[in-house]
């Protein structure tokens, strides 16, 4: 048989009938086979290509193949239409895939039960509860009144220091965290004022900022012909006066409402050598000036004070030994146990950056550009990824990266800007990676696990990641990288939401760490005003011992206060006397407000020419910048 099969010649092959009209399929064969009957086949007439005249096309293949026959088309017109239609569908499909890969995806990552509008309103109410001075009659807080009306008026000090905010659960007023709070709240407004306006909270947050910026203006007394400049760092005494002159009753030892205070409230005085306090105060006044840019006189007053203070600080005589305010006993010795500052260069760079935005004066940007690397060298390793009242460089890097993304000024800033962008990308990787920082079993990031108050750092990390994601979204970028690692917008949003969700109740304790939000929240907040009833009776320090140590819930709900939070094992103790867990602070709440507004949905009716609706003001921060980028 093999011999007869091989004896077939070319002439016999030429006589084989063509074309084959029918083919059929065999299940599982994965190919078409010739068929002799139309009843078990499909008719094909694919004679699309010209028939070859080469005889070698008719030689049987050495190896079996799926189809070894000619196909012809009976109606080429219909087939061409089919090809055009198929090509159109394919091209459309490819375009859709390309668009989906380029355009940022809008995705809600939060629990629908999380009402961020309510959360924001309550978080802002906390600042109303912390106001010192002549208390507003229209406040929604019903357990507060006038307090601290004699602040600054002492035998050794004659100053008007009425106003500002009580720092936390005590009756102290610390200038350093107050200035930071004003800066951060102002930043959140400058970025997301459309969101604030949409939920009817813009006037509210601006009122809070102005309450703080009014106080900052009182803290700085410019030099004159007879006196050098003064910067006040503190009102009140924690009872650890380095001179040994402590009152038995003071703002820490006495558990008393601020309205009932009768003990002495000494004032701590600094000068321009307290560079960290000066830098943060400059930042607060400059950022607030941008918020109130429509109020020309007030904004100008803030800028004038900020410029004068900054120029004093940066030109201070080195022989006077400039440093941190807490390194100087008279200036910040008493604050050391509460807000100990570890560096001053980051605040000076921070202040210069905000002053540049407020004025457009490139000399301030030059300062930030020239001193940023030096500030990084002084930065503690444990502070490199933290944005807090003590650490500003991580946030400052994002601000300079923002400038590079949307208002690139070219030479000579590009090297520093590239460095800050690289640092920011590394920061995002450190937050979203599981390798850099530990997290609790419940998912809370522990940026400084050796200290209390983990929520304040988680809140600012949430704010920075969402903010940076919005910057990338405006650039139509869906991801970025730090070395070999890659992070996406979705990764940033997921991390940001995870920290806020934890704070609002998605944690192993099933407790909202924002007082008044949800069904289960702390009821024994470490807070003098909230823990003593508003009954028109004066309560003495001795009375306060009872209210501090009682086991029942506070008689007044301190709406919106974010407490210090759990320990590294997600354990939280709702006990008034344990401030490690239950004490709130204005600096911590400022970070929470910033995170909440960043995550809040943008106005649904807002339209943007670049097609991205993130609720962010892309250029408002740059209104005063007149520098023309270099052509080189």
Q: What are phi and psi of 301, to 5 degrees?
A: -65, -40
Closest among 301, 440, 318 to 358, alpha carbons compared: 301
568 in Cβ contact with 286 (< 8 Å): no
Closest among 412, 401, 512, 408 to 455, alpha carbons compared: 512
- Bridge-based pairing of strands 479-482 and 32-34 is unpaired
365 in Cβ contact with 413 (< 8 Å): yes
Kindly give the residue spans of alpha helices, DSSP state H, lying in 103-249: 116-129, 175-198, 202-219
Q: CA 97 from chain center: how many Å?
A: 31
Q: CA 603 from chain center: how many Å?
A: 19
Q: Which 3-state string (H, E, C) describes 32-65?
A: EEECCCHHHCEECCCCCCCCCCCHHHHCCCCCCC
Task: Taking the CA atoms of 502, 504, 505 and 508 in sequence, report the sign of the dihedral they define.
Answer: positive
Torsion of CA 327, 329, 335, 339, to 10 degrees: 0
314 in Cβ contact with 298 (< 8 Å): no
Instruction: Report the first-to-last Cα separation within the chain, whole angstroms.
Output: 84
Helix, strand or coil, per DSSP, at residue 486: strand
| Distance separating alpha carbons of residues 20 and 132, to the nearest angstrom | 96
Burial of 340 (0-12, 13-18, 19+ CB in 10 A): middle
Which residues carry out catalysis? 526
> Radius of gyration of the chain from Cα atoms?
34
| Distance separating alpha carbons of residues 256 and 425, to the nearest angstrom | 47
Closest among 624, 587, 598 to 182, alpha carbons compared: 587
Residue 24, number of CB atoms within 10 A of its CB: 16
Residue found under tokens 């704010």? 463
């Amino acid at each position: 048989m093999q011999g007869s099969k091989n004896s077939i010649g070319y002439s016999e092959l030429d006589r084989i009938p063509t074309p084959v009209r029918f083919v059929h399929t065999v299940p599982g064969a994965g190919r078409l086979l010739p068929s002799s009957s139309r009843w078990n086949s499909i008719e094909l007439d694919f004679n699309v290509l010209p028939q070859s005249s080469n005889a070698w096309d008719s030689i049987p293949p050495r190896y079996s193949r799926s189809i070894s026959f000619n196909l012809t088309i009976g109606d080429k017109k219909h087939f061409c239409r089919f090809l055009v239609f198929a090509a159109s569908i394919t091209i459309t499909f490819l375009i859709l895939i390309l668009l989906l890969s380029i355009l940022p995806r809008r995705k809600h990552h939060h629990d629908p039960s999380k009402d961020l509008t309510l959360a924001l309103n309550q978080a802002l109410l906390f600042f109303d509860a912390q106001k010192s001075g002549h208390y507003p009659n229209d406040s929604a807080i019903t357990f507060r009144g006038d307090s601290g009306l004699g602040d600054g008026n002492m035998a050794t000090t004659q100053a008007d220091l009425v106003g500002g905010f009580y720092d936390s659960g005590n009756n102290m007023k610390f200038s350093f965290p107050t200035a930071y709070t004003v800066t951060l709240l102002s930043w959140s407004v400058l970025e997301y004022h459309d969101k604030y306006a949409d939920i009817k909270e813009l006037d509210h947050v601006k009122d809070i900022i102005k309450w703080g910026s009014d106080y900052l203006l009182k803290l700085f007394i410019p030099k004159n012909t007879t006196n050098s400049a003064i910067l006040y760092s503190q009102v009140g005494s924690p009872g650890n006066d380095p001179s040994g002159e402590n009152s038995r009753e003071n703002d820490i030892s006495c558990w008393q409402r601020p309205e009932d205070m009768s003990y002495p409230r000494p004032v701590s005085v600094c000068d321009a050598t307290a560079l960290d306090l000066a830098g943060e105060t400059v930042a607060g006044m400059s950022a607030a000036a941008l918020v109130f840019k429509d109020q020309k006189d007030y904004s100008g007053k803030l800028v004038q004070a900020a410029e004068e203070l900054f120029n004093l600080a940066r030109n201070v005589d080195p022989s006077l030994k400039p440093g941190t305010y807490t390194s100087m006993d008279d200036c910040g010795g008493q604050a050391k146990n509460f807000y100990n500052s570890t560096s001053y260069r980051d605040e000076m760079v921070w202040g210069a950056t905000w002053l540049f935005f407020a004025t457009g004066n490139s000399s301030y940007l030059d300062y930030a550009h020239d001193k940023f690397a030096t500030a990084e060298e002084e930065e503690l390793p444990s502070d490199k990824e933290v944005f807090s009242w003590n650490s500003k460089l991580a946030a400052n890097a994002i601000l300079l990266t923002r400038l590079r993304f949307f208002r690139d000024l070219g030479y000579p800033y590009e090297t520093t800007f590239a460095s800050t962008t690289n640092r920011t990308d590394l920061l995002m990787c450190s937050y979203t990676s599981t390798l850099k920082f530990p997290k609790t079993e419940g998912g809370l990031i522990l940026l400084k696990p050796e200290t209390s108050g983990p929520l304040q750092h988680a809140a600012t990390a949430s704010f920075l990641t969402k903010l940076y994601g919005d910057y990338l979204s405006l650039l139509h970028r869906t991801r970025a990288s730090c070395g070999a690692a890659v992070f996406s917008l979705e990764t940033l949003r997921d991390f940001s939401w995870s920290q806020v969700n934890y704070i609002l109740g998605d944690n192993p304790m099933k407790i909202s760490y924002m007082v008044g939000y949800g069904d289960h929240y702390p009821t024994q907040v470490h807070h003098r005003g909230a823990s003593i009833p508003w009954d028109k009776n004066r309560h003495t320090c001795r009375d306060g011992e009872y209210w501090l140590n009682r086991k029942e819930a506070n008689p007044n709900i301190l709406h919106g206060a974010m407490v210090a939070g759990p320990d590294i094992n997600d354990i939280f103790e709702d006990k008034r006397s344990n401030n490690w867990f239950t004490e709130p602070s204005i600096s911590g709440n400022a970070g929470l407000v910033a995170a909440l507004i960043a995550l809040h949905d943008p106005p649904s009716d807002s339209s943007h020419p670049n097609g991205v609706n993130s609720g962010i003001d892309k250029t408002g921060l740059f209104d005063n910048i007149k520098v023309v980028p270099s052509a080189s």
